[in-house]
Structures are given as structure tokens and as C-alpha cells.
Amino acid sequence: MVGATDLDISNKISLLSNLSFDHPLTDAEFYDLEQLLSSSVLLSQVYFKDNIDIASIDKVKSLLELLPNIDDSKVEKYIMKTITNLEREQLDNMNFANIDTWNIAYLVEGNKYEITSLTKYRIVNEWFNQVLEEMDSREDLSLLDKICYVYDRVKMFHYDASVKYHRLPEIICDKKANSYGYNLLFKELLLRMGVSSLVIRVASLEDNFITLSLIKDDSYKVDGAYIFDPSSDTIFKDQYKNNLARQMNYNFFAITLNKLGNLSDNNDFDGVLKILLSPNTDEYNYYLKNYISRFGNSEIKKIEKSFYMSFEDIFNKLNSSDDISKDTIFKIVSKRLDNYPDVIVSKDFLLKTVSENYIARNSELFVNNRVKKKTIES
């Protein structure tokens, strides 16, 4: 039930400093714990790991707050387990006497976790819940309509290249993000909507990222793998006059891999993205083999795990996905504008502005020199 570090409990119980819990506590185990902590102990850290449940965490929390011989304000607590959506709600509803002593690990992607304070963790969840509740309050939205809504919300953050804006708590608390941060925020929203997504680096030597997602929307007859980049569609803080202006760019909204390959400045593509952009089977096999020999296959496995598909199937899905027409994009944006509050100009004017901006940026950003290739046959 209880593990201690750096000491033999039986001989040095008065020096007990660290406790860890890795499974739901039975009544008998909780009684033993209460007897243990009622002794003279110098407890400093408590870890909740693996299969521990929220109910057990709550019981231990209450015990630490109530026992007179323990100063709960000086005990650091760490929740080091994968949190389900239900457990996240349960944590949000718990009351803490000393919440500043609680920390939690959250999943970033793959097997990568980071630790933040429970206070910041709650702020993060509150923001996500607010955005998704606002999205759900809109009527008759298809999947791409909903994605457009959250895409616009992410674009409202201010660009900041600082490394700390790779982390969700800092991004949401400061309302700032770098390229990775924009895409991380967007990906997390999509995951909470049930859309399989992953952030991928565009070039290994640059802080430039995209979000890859699997989209199926019968309303717009869309079914495929698409790329998003809210960081490339946002407007820097010193370049916009009002929040509405930040809704005007959609050139990196649900584009195909083929279109991404037509970027005017695409010479820096490398890593996994270079494999996916391979023009034929021979180059695909060459780049894949070369990449694995240099970097291993952990990134490949992460992509496969994110989409529950083999890397080859992901490649084929990306390269067989049809472009979404600009007319469809404008239909999606049109519905988005129907739900934009406090618009002081006409919707027709806004759509005209979006259309003109979209066409002008497309001609600057993309060239049509990449022929769509065939998928690889196993």
C-alpha cells in the first residue's frame, strides 16, 4: 500500500519523509495509514501514481489536512498518473486547504509528461471547458464548423517565441504562444472533441510546427487527413486593430499534405514530414530507412499510436485526401461568422474580406508545381 523512500519504516518511523500510493486504498489500508501518520513523522512529500483512484487521493488529502501532528502546508503532493476526463472533473470539484502544495503531471503527447501546479492545471481545464461549452452552445454545427470555432479561439493568443510558451499552463495563463504552443493548444482542443490529432515539427532546426488531424465530416463530404496551423493564420499583436481582424486568415485551415508541399518556401522540410512528402515509393523507403537509422523509430511509433494506424497507412491517407475547395472553406467561415458576437459590420462585407484575403495570401504562400502522387501499395 504505502512505500517510503530513503529509510526503513520499521526502524525509523519517526523520520518518515516520503510516501507513495499506487492503487485504490482498502478500508484496512487506510486505517493502517491513519495509524502510521498519527505517529511522530516528518512527512515532506506524497506521491500518487499508477492505478490510484481519485477517491483514495481525496481520503489521503483529508487525512493530511486533519491530523494535528502534520503541517499539511509543508507537505508537497504530486499526482503522477494518467488522468481520465472523469477524474479531471472530480479533481476540479475537490476542495483543498493548501492547494499551492499540490502538483500534477499532465500528458503533452506520446509518452511525454510535464508537471505543473494543480492551480495552473485547473486554470487550463477551466479555459478548455469554457471554449468547448461555448462551441457546443452553437446550433447545427458540423465537425468542421466546430473545428473552425476553436481554430479562431486559438488564433486570439499573442505570438511570443519564448521557450516557456511550449507549455499549456504558461500559454493559457499568459495568453501567449509560439508556433508549437499554438498547435499544442489547438491539438488539445481537438483531442477533447474526439478528433485524433498530433503536432509535428516542420523543420528540425526551426521552431515551426503543424497539426495533423483525421477529419470526417459528412455535411461537407470531407473524409481524410488534413493539416492545420493556427500560428501561420494568426496576426501579430502589433499588426491588428481589433479582435475581429484576427478571424480573417484561413489559408492553413484543413489543407492537404499536397498543398503543404506546394509552399513557396518548402526547402527546409525534413524529419518525419520529409518522409510523408516523398514523391514516390523509392524515395519514401529511402527517407524512412535513413530517418530510422539516424533517429530511431520513436517518432514513427508516436504517430502510429496517435492515429491507430501504421505509418504507411498514414502516408497513404494523407496522399489520398482531397483538397477542400475554397467555396467549402467560405461556407464554414460563413457559419462561423453567424456565431460571432457584437459584429458591427455586415456579414457580406466580412465574407468579402475573408475571400479577398484568402486568395491574395494563397498566391503568395503556395505554388502549383507539386503533382499529387499515388499512394504506396503494400
Residue 161 included in any domain: yes
- Helical H runs in 44-102? 54-66, 85-93
pLDDT confidence of residue 343: 53
Residue 55 CA: distances (Å) to CA of 23, 87, 168: 11, 9, 26
Is residue 284 a part of any domain in this protein?
yes
Sequence-distant (≥ 6) Cβ neighbours of residue 377 within 8 angstroms: 281
Q: Is residue 28 part of a domain?
A: yes
Asked if 230 and 154 touch (Cβ cutoff 8 Å), the reply is: yes
- The secondary structure element, H or E, covering residue 103 is strand 102-109
pLDDT of residue 294: 92
Alpha carbons 343 and 350: distance in angstroms, whole number: 9
- Give burial (CB, 10 Å; 0-12/13-18/19+) of 348: exposed
- Based on the domain organization, do 19 and 78 belong to the same domain? yes
Distance CA 143, CA 193 (A): 9
Helix (H) or strand (E) holding 174: helix 168-174
- Quick check: is 122 in a domain? no
Query: How much is the pLDDT for 183?
Result: 97
209-217: strand order across its sheet: 197-201, 209-217, 222-228
Q: Are residues 172 and 278 in the same domain?
A: yes
- Same domain membership, residue 145 and residue 113: no
- Count other C-beta atoms under 10 Å from residue 268's C-beta: 14
Cα distance between residue 160 and residue 87, in whole Å? 32
Closest CA to 124 of 138, 95, 149, 104: 104
Which pLDDT score, from 0 to 100, does residue 40 have? 67
- What's the number of domains the chain is made of? 2
Do residues 36 and 179 share a domain? no
pLDDT at 116: 95
User: Are 39 and 77 found together in one domain?
Assistant: yes
Nearest Cα neighbor of 132 from 223, 195, 226 is 195
The residue whose grid cell reads 508549437 is: 180
pLDDT at 14: 41
Buried (b) or exposed (e) across 81-113, using 16+ Cβ within 10 A? bebeeebbebbeeeebebeebbbbbbebbeeee
**Calpha distance 64→147 (Å, rounded):** 43
Q: How far apart are CA 212 and CA 205, in angstroms?
A: 20
Contact predicate 143/216, CB 8 Å:
yes
Per-position b or e across 37-57, b if 16+ CB within 10 A of its CB: beeebebeebbbeeebbbebb
Per DSSP, the three-state class of 217 is strand
- Judgement on whether residues 111 and 144 belong to the same structural domain of the protein: no
- Nearest Cα residue to 304 out of 176, 198, 158: 198
Asked if residue 123 is part of any domain, the answer here is: no
Q: pLDDT tens for the chain, 378 residues: list them.
A: 444 433 333 333 344 689 999 999 999 999 999 998 988 678 999 999 999 999 999 999 999 999 999 999 999 999 999 888 899 999 999 999 999 999 999 888 777 889 999 999 999 999 999 999 999 998 889 999 999 999 999 998 999 989 899 999 999 999 999 999 999 999 999 999 999 999 998 876 567 899 999 999 999 999 999 999 999 998 765 555 455 555 678 999 999 999 998 887 766 687 899 899 988 889 999 999 999 999 999 999 999 999 999 999 999 999 999 999 999 999 999 888 876 655 556 778 888 888 888 998 898 888 875 555 544 443
Domain end, chosen from 83, 117, 151, is at: 117
| Statement to judge: residues 307 and 242 lie in one domain | yes
Residues 38 and 179 in one domain: no
Q: Is residue 303 part of a domain?
A: yes
pTM above 0.75, yes or no: yes
* Same domain (yes/no): 257, 326: yes
Is residue 336 within 8 Å of 144, Cβ to Cβ?
no
19's grid cell: 510516501
Q: Which residue has the cell 503527447?
A: 109
Domain around 267: 138-365
Q: Which residues contact 239 (CB under 8 A, 6 or more apart)?
A: none
* Burial grade of 280 (CB within 10 A; 0-12, 13-18, 19 or more): exposed
Q: Which residues contact 301 (CB under 8 A, 6 or more apart)?
A: none
Q: Helix (H, G, I), strand (E, B), or coil: what is residue 108?
A: strand
In contact, 281 and 376? CB cutoff 8 Å: yes
Q: Report pLDDT for 243.
A: 56
